[in-house]
Amino acid sequence: MRIAITGSRGLVGTALVEYFAQRGHAITRIVRQGMEAAPGSVVWDLPSWRLDPAALAGQEVIIHLAGASIADHRWSEDYKQLICSSRVDGTTLLSQALAKVAPLPKLLISASAIGFYGHIEPPSYVDERSKVGRLFISSVCEKWEKSTWEAHNAGIRIIHMRLGLVLTKNGGVLAKMLPVFKMGLGGMLGSGRQIVSWVALEEIPPIVEHMINTSQLLGPVNVVSPHPVSNAEFTATLARCLGRPAAVPVPASLARLLFGEMGQELLLSGAKVVPTKLTASGYRFRYPELDTTLQHIL
């Protein structure tokens, strides 16, 4: 296949490029204006709203991952605007260009997040049929997903890949937690009751391959393990895998003081998200349980 990817240098994008390239597929990177572009890359310029549809001719699958980081900055009003606009504007520009490509790509897989569901108190769970939540990140995800409408109206199959917490020792949240937990200074956040719906980074490329090959998968698809856990269980399991205690909890008030709204939404909130569509379509998880997954990662 010919597969084009935005955000190809990020955590998930890098894993996808490596996975599909190893299987002999042709990868085209869609990169921002001003970035170093390898031969054969497609350049898009969001500030000037420029992406040449002809440059995407012949691409069968588009995987769209680009967007400003949600966890690397405190959420000022300006940065919240950037979080939203980088996703909504970028997806709108891409969808408009794809709608003009001849022949049309078969599939657009556009990233989203389980933050769509907001905070849900356990033991209630949510799946792809559940309504949008009330958090800031929920509204971002809702607008993000709606911004694929021009590609959808053109007849392209659309999947909204609602990613859970991605686990790898090479980046993301887990990489930031490891030094603290290795020193024996880790612990649960707040009450520890909030749910962590997670997925191993190594699980994502096979899931995307399954999406490509399973034509009945449409719309939102939860990309999470079938066994979410509470924050208390997550931190205890991580500490046990490292052979360290998890005896230094972080009070909710401290998380809010240090990280503001970001801390409330990303650290102290959560939802028990289940991958109903993936399991119903026959996908078999390679890393379903947290304990064995962390042992493998570490």
**CATH assignment of the domain containing 21:** 3.40.50.720
d(CA 275, CA 203): 13
Residue 223 has what pLDDT?
98
Alpha helices in the chain (DSSP H): 11-22, 77-98, 136-146, 149-154, 172-182, 204-213, 231-242, 252-262, 276-280, 290-297
d(CA 97, CA 44): 10
Following DSSP, what letter does each residue of 77-109 receive, concatenated?
HHHHHHHHHHHHHHHHHHHHHHTT-SSPPSEEE
Residue 162 belongs to domain spanning: 2-166+201-224+276-282
DSSP secondary-structure letter at 117? G
Residue 37 has what pLDDT?
67
d(CA 120, CA 272): 7
12 assigned to some structural domain: yes
189 assigned to some structural domain: no
pLDDT by 10-residue block (mean), the chain, 298 residues: 96 97 96 76 92 96 96 91 96 98 97 98 96 97 98 98 97 93 95 97 98 97 98 97 94 93 94 98 98 97
Question: Among residues 115, 157, 153, which one has the least CA distance to residue 135?
Answer: 115
298 assigned to some structural domain: no
145 assigned to some structural domain: yes
56 assigned to some structural domain: yes
- pTM, rounded to two decimals: 0.95
Task: Give the total number of structural domains in the chain.
Answer: 1
Helix (H) or strand (E) holding 273: strand 272-273
Residue pLDDT, tens place only, 30-89: 998 777 667 789 999 998 999 999 999 999 999 999 999 998 888 999 999 999 999 999
30 assigned to some structural domain: yes
Residue 73 has what pLDDT?
85
131 assigned to some structural domain: yes
Residue 40 has what pLDDT?
80
**Count of residues making up the chain:** 298
